[in-house]
Structure 1
Amino acid sequence: MKRTSIKNKSVWLLLNCFLLLPFSAVFSQEITPVKEEVIQIDSLYREDQFYFGVTYNTLMDKPAGVSQRKFSSGLSAGFLRDMPINKKRTVAVASGIGFTYNNYNQNLAISSPAGKPIYTIIDSEFEYDKNKFSLLSVDVPIEFRWRTSTYESHKFWRIYGGFKMSYLLYDRSIFNSADGKVVVTGNQDFNKFQYGAYISSGYNTINLYAYYGLNSLFKSAKVNDESVAMRSLNIGITFYIL
């Protein structure tokens, strides 16, 4: 009886070993560690940016009797390519292309009865609904940039100053009164090429902006024998979007 019991125990032990063999093989396999994904930060970053601006427009060097009425606004948008020039990439130059649409509400009426523009200062006692001229230009800005940016953050202080050259694509003058509506387009007295200096400064997305025209909006217009040599001063806000 004892030999039979020992024999049975031996058989049972071998059977258990046989059954556990596949499981031990599975657990004995090498566990491959999961590699964590490493996000590499580009230390050679550039502040390439889209920009969008809103301005309040004023006219400088106005002829005698010319004044602005109502709110004159402007819109601009474009893209700037950033080119850092120091190791920390806090100093850069940038250039790009954009478009600007400016309105100027004032009391200098423009008419063209025989195909030649005529300029008249509207009397202060004369009632009218609207008198303005609008300009659409394509811009090429070139600017010098200083900022406190790093490759770890896009929120920083900036001072951008530059020079902007513009080419006039479209002009439109409107004088609307009880006597009717006068619309003049393609006025050859406007300067096709315009240029000026600007500065933009602020933190993160929103920045204060100012532009000063260095040449006249008109090249040959006259009113009361006085040259119309008005220049533009535009002040507003610029938004930079990466």
Structure 2
Amino acid sequence: MKHFLIFLLGFNFCVGFSQEQNTAKVVSSRYKEDQFYAAITYNVLHQVPDKLSQTGFSLGFHLGHIKDIPLNIRRNFAIGIGLGYSTNSFNQNLLINKEVDNSFNYAIVDEDDFSKNKFSNHFVELPVEFRWRTSTATDYNFWRIYAGLKLRYMFLNNTKYKGDLGSIKFSNISEFNKFQYGLTLSAGYNTWNFYTYYGLNPILKNAALSDGTAVNMTDIKLGLIFYIL
């Protein structure tokens, strides 16, 4: 967390410096915007079973490159297609444990019974955006609204539990849905922009509590996204 915040401060400085430097260059009528991004989000579990709740602070970190493809002469409408990486953690009270037959079971546990219980995941992401902005070839302080779809492939997941049952860790649990997707929206002015992701398919597949209740939770991400040319 500390290292990422330092990175964001340096990233913000580079944005301002880069924009000042660019104003001294010859203006091109074929300029492009916002080709690199970094974001930090608060992760929220949605559509959870009864009594499942989040504990602590669940964070996500996101980096990537987007190919900006302007659609008109003014270049304020564009399509963005990119490639990125994200890592996310979810602190909550859903214990994922292994049975003697190596299958996994899912149980909601009391928050007083553990000091840590979370699952984390790592994704390669493909964002596709429809972009509107008020920029010009010389104006680097502008409004933007970018809406789109993000396709995600989970290449790693893990769980960690510390509590009355001891220390429990697992990696690459097959019930985690490797292919996930959701809607995205980022909007704001200049460097600071609000960002949200709304997941459309479940984090877990074929997972259920002992009473048969399906664990079909999705995720919502809320945070800030920073852009640079």
TM range (shorter): 0.7 to 0.9
Q: 1:81 aligns with which of 57, 60, 67?
A: 67
Amino acid aligned to 1:150: T
- Percent of aligned positions that are identical: 42
1:113-132: CA deviation from partner (whole Å, max 9, x where unpaired): 432111111025x4311000
1:171-229: CA deviation from partner (whole Å, max 9, x where unpaired): 00111114311001111101110000010001111100010000000111101211100
Structure 1 counterpart of 2:186 = 200
Matches within 5 A, 1:78-157: 78-114=64-100, 115-124=102-111, 126-157=112-143
Q: Does 1:170 align with 2:156?
A: yes
Q: 2:201 aligns with which of 215, 218, 238?
A: 215
Shift of 1:41: 1.2
- Find the residue that maps to 1:222 and give its secondary structure: coil
1:86-137: CA deviation from partner (whole Å, max 9, x where unpaired): 110000000010011111111000011432111111025x431100000101
Structure 1 counterpart of 2:19 = none
- Find the residue that maps to 1:237 and give its secondary structure: strand
Aligned residues: 204
Q: 1:160 aligns with which of 125, 137, 146?
A: 146
**In 2: Cα distance, 1:133 partner to 1:93 partner:** 34
- Find the residue that maps to 1:227 and give its secondary structure: coil
Shift of 1:64: 1.4
- Find the residue that maps to 2:83 and give its secondary structure: strand
Structure 1 runs, 4 residues or longer, greater than 3 Å off: none
Structure 2 counterpart of 1:60 = 46
Q: Rate the CA distance shift 1:219–1:39 in 2: closer, same or farther, 3 A.
A: closer
**In 2: Cα distance, 1:111 partner to 1:179 partner:** 10
**In 2: Cα distance, 1:228 partner to 1:133 partner:** 14
Q: Which runs of 5+ in 2 are unaligned?
A: 1-23
Q: Does 1:179 align with 2:165?
A: yes
Q: 2:218 aligns with which of 209, 221, 231?
A: 231
**In 2: Cα distance, 1:133 partner to 1:140 partner:** 22
CA contact (8 A) 1:47 1:81 kept: no
CA contact (8 A) 1:110 1:117 kept: yes
**In 1: Cα distance, 2:173 partner to 2:221 partner:** 22
1:11-41: CA deviation from partner (whole Å, max 9, x where unpaired): xxxxxxxxxxxxxxxxxxxxxxxxxxx9531
CA contact (8 A) 2:34 2:227 kept: no
1:68-97: CA deviation from partner (whole Å, max 9, x where unpaired): 111111110000110000110000000010
Query: Which protein has the larger Cα radius of gyration, Structure 1 or Structure 2?
Result: 1
CA-based RMSD of the aligned residues comes to: 1.3
**In 2: Cα distance, 1:156 partner to 1:118 partner:** 50
